[in-house]
Structure 1
Amino acid sequence: MNIKELKQALQTEVKPLYLVQGTEQRLLQDIRQLFFQLLTPEEQEMNFAEFDLNQVDIEEAVGEANSLPFFGRYRLIFVNNPGFLTGLRNSSSSEQNLTVFEQYLQTPQETTILVLFAPYEKLDRRKKITKLVQKQSCVVDATKLQLSEMKQLLKQELQQNGQVITSAALEQLVLRTNGDYSLATNEVHKLQTYSQKKPITLEMVQNLVPQTLDDNVFDLLDAILQGNLAQAENYYQQLLILKNDVLGLTALAQSQIRLLLQIKILTQRGMSPGKLASYLQVHPYRVKLALQRSHHYQVQQLKKALLSLIQIDYRMKTGQGQKERLFELFMINFITNKKTA
């Protein structure tokens, strides 16, 4: 179930076991708050406990879960980082004594709400313990949101506070936060304070929400690929002023050019936009942006840019010149050759 369904379910029935899986930090925070609301502040003092399985054995959490609530309806137990549900071998939480926990899963304490927070993209569903946890628990989804879900939640949050946001402003907000819901909600709070109950406009977002490094590098690459040296130089100098490491910029530029190239080739082979994100293992919003930009460029042009960046990266790492100057020479040479080609 998602967070909306969880909120509705908790109003009528509380289960003894929950598994919250995913890495979306804002969703995880909101889900924690929903469980906290089941207890009064006084009950939280007496009947709440939290365990990090990177630090302790799950036997401690089970012992606490088996205790009856003290002057309250429930005990609330949060168990973080259950690495034994994944295939990760370097996690200390993967080396746990699970026998007692497996027994508890079969007959949980009805007056305890035990919530497992698994901040992982994937679980190892082949494991016996994972299968048992999923079977016995109510599973809550805290994975990265689809763009449509993200926009809907942002609009709902604003509406609850008596505010609206224009469509153009919402698109720009999602763009500038790179489809990151947690980051977007932080920016919404800033926009709410500034707008003072007035509609949030595109201009407000442009003035108050900074572009991500990804967006700035995309703008730089656009200028380079389009042969606009003056604009490319302007973007590049802005990135240097912001103290961005040139080696990091080069690596990010390679990553973005490679993504444009992959999307260009895959779409030419007939792959639908909806399948690109899962096939490339890339956030859907990055794919959407790259898809929009890829139409402007030819495959050979992108291959040439990628090869040039790889060569520049090698020269930087082997000390064959000043890094800042090497990237600048890449821009000049690429644009000059493009115009004379």
Structure 2
Amino acid sequence: MKDLELLLKNIKNKALLPVYFLHGGESYYIDIAVKSLENDVLTEDEKSFGQTVLYGKDTSIPEIISLAQQFPMFGELNLIIVKEAQDLKLGEDELKSLEFYVENPVPTTVLVFAHKHKKLDSRKKITKILTKNNWIFLSEPVKDYQLAKWIADECKANQIKTAPNISHLLADYLGNDLSRIANELGKLKMVMKEGQELDEKLVETHIGISKDFNVFELQKALGNKNHAAALRIAFFMGKSPKTNPFPMIIGNLYNYFSNIIIYHTMHGQSPQVMAAAMNVNPYFIKDFAESARFYPLKHATRIISLLREADLKNKGLGANQIDDAELLRELTYKILNVDRLKVSV
């Protein structure tokens, strides 16, 4: 969510708005903002008579507005939080009522809507009113290519020192569920000793991602053309399809060999420039340099075709019920022997 830190700071400093409309596809930031409003607006004594929590499916706009228009019985503020506001009925009459209230809010009420999983329609008058007053806050999902950086920033914010590849490992195996990632990082911080580095062993022990049989180890073995190691890793990864979903493996290998192609085409430029083009840490450029020795540009391009072919087979096209484990072993073998294969590109 844009300007989340400023939003939280203002809440903590009691620089409050009469209306907060939190909306968008990423619920994690909405939950953080709502938690801050629940914890920092009223004291524990004030909450018992000044804080009301409603749920969209169990309430209505008329009920919400009726509560919002009441003046505090005790204290200075009423805090009304509508959770799961996406479940509210927002017909023409409801929208008109809400528009009227937002244009004339009660100064002693803080009205909060937590509208998760989707945006409020930007064409609606209510959205334009909220936007004009800066009372609406959009929470958008982190894009896949930004996820590793987001995890690295979270680790830094939580003072968790990490090995270079950990943020990428967590991004690929935990997906873009920010709440889950934050919970896992919280658990890891609790078990880590002061000054200890978060490495693959800790991740395996406390999250369950194998330090020996994961997509990064597969990439490393393929990148060095270590036939025995790559085939062994592919075999054991294939035995745990839930932990190692085939589409995730394909996506990672596609990025990996695409970066080898980028390395070939940008050869001679600085590691920083190449790293920016690849969207990776410059630390990893030496690995792509090593892999580029084993995979000339022609072969790396052929591997992209192999990956596309495997992806189609995984989706049931051009293959007769080949399971993911067999597909992964077949793909690994073909990549290792790409110089001997004829692949159309």
Same fold (TM over 0.5): yes
**Would the aligned equivalents of 1:121 and 1:143 in 2 still touch at CA under 8 Å?**
no
**Structure 2 residue 168 is matched with structure 1 residue 175:** yes
Q: Which residue does 2:116 correspond to in 1?
A: 119
Taking the aligned partners of 1:340 and 1:99, their CA distance within structure 2 comes to 66
Shift of 1:43: 2.6
**Structure 2 residue 256 is matched with structure 1 residue 253:** no
Cα offsets for 1:6-35 (capped at 9, x unmatched): 233231422211123455555333322221
Taking the aligned partners of 1:94 and 1:266, their CA distance within structure 2 comes to 50
Shift of 1:288: 3.7
SS in 2 for 1:177: helix
SS in 1 for 2:242: coil
Q: Rate the CA distance shift 1:25–1:126 in 2: closer, same or farther, 3 A.
A: closer
Q: Rate the CA distance shift 1:139–1:288 in 2: closer, same or farther, 3 A.
A: farther
**Structure 2 residue 9 is matched with structure 1 residue 8:** yes
Taking the aligned partners of 1:74 and 1:142, their CA distance within structure 2 comes to 26
Shift of 1:102: 0.5
Shift of 1:99: 0.9
Shift of 1:328: 2.2
Q: Which residue does 1:199 correspond to in 2?
A: 195
Taking the aligned partners of 1:30 and 1:134, their CA distance within structure 2 comes to 21
Taking the aligned partners of 2:235 and 2:17, their CA distance within structure 1 comes to 56
**Would the aligned equivalents of 2:21 and 2:136 in 1 still touch at CA under 8 Å?**
yes
**% identity of equivalent residues:** 19
Taking the aligned partners of 2:43 and 2:204, their CA distance within structure 1 comes to 41
Taking the aligned partners of 1:54 and 1:321, their CA distance within structure 2 comes to 44
Q: Which residue does 2:44 correspond to in 1?
A: 41
SS in 2 for 1:33: helix
- Aligned residues: CA RMSD: 4.3
Taking the aligned partners of 1:338 and 1:52, their CA distance within structure 2 comes to 61
Q: Rate the CA distance shift 1:77–1:182 in 2: closer, same or farther, 3 A.
A: same
**Structure 2 residue 31 is matched with structure 1 residue 29:** yes
Q: Which residue does 1:88 correspond to in 2?
A: none
Q: Which residue does 2:301 correspond to in 1?
A: 300
**Would the aligned equivalents of 1:261 and 1:303 in 2 still touch at CA under 8 Å?**
yes
TM-score, structure 2 length as denominator? 0.69
SS in 2 for 1:329: helix
Q: Rate the CA distance shift 1:302–1:94 in 2: closer, same or farther, 3 A.
A: farther
Q: Which residue does 2:233 correspond to in 1?
A: 235
Taking the aligned partners of 2:259 and 2:132, their CA distance within structure 1 comes to 38
The amino acid of 1:238's aligned partner reads F
Of 126-135 and 292-301, deviating more is: 292-301
SS in 2 for 1:242: coil
Taking the aligned partners of 1:149 and 1:315, their CA distance within structure 2 comes to 34
Structure 2, unaligned stretches of length 5 or more? 267-272
Taking the aligned partners of 1:337 and 1:259, their CA distance within structure 2 comes to 17
TM-score, structure 1 length as denominator? 0.70
How many residue pairs get matched?
A: 311
Q: Rate the CA distance shift 1:261–1:132 in 2: closer, same or farther, 3 A.
A: farther
